[in-house]
C-alpha cells in the first residue's frame, strides 16, 4: 500500500514538472488517500498485535 502511494506521488511530481496539472492533482490526491489508508491499517495492526 505504501509502495503505491509513493508511486503515485512520483507520478504527480513528474506530471507537475511537465505541466500536466489535472493529472498531477489527481495522482497527488490518490497518493494522499492511499497513504491515509496505509496509516489506518498500520495503526490497527499495531493495536491488534499488542492485545
Task: Provide the phi-psi class of 20: left if phi over 0, else alpha when psi is between -120 and 50, else beta.
Answer: beta
* Residue that is written with C-alpha cell 490497527 in the block: 44
**Quick one: pLDDT at residue 2?**
85
For range 32-44, the mean pLDDT: 94
> What's the pLDDT band for 50 if we cut at 50, 70, 90?
confident
SS3 for 20? coil
Residues 14 and 7: their CA atoms lie apart, in Å, by 11
**Quick one: pLDDT at residue 36?**
95
Q: Which helix (H) or strand (E) holds 49?
A: helix 21-50
Given a cut of 80, whether residue 51 has pLDDT beyond it is no
Given a cut of 80, whether residue 35 has pLDDT beyond it is yes
Amino acid at each position: 500500500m505504501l509502495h503505491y502511494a509513493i508511486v503515485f506521488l512520483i507520478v504527480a511530481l513528474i506530471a507537475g514538472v511537465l505541466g500536466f496539472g489535472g493529472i498531477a492533482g489527481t495522482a497527488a490526491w490518490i497518493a494522499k488517500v492511499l497513504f491515509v489508508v496505509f496509516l489506518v491499517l498500520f495503526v490497527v495492526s499495531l493495536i491488534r498485535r499488542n492485545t
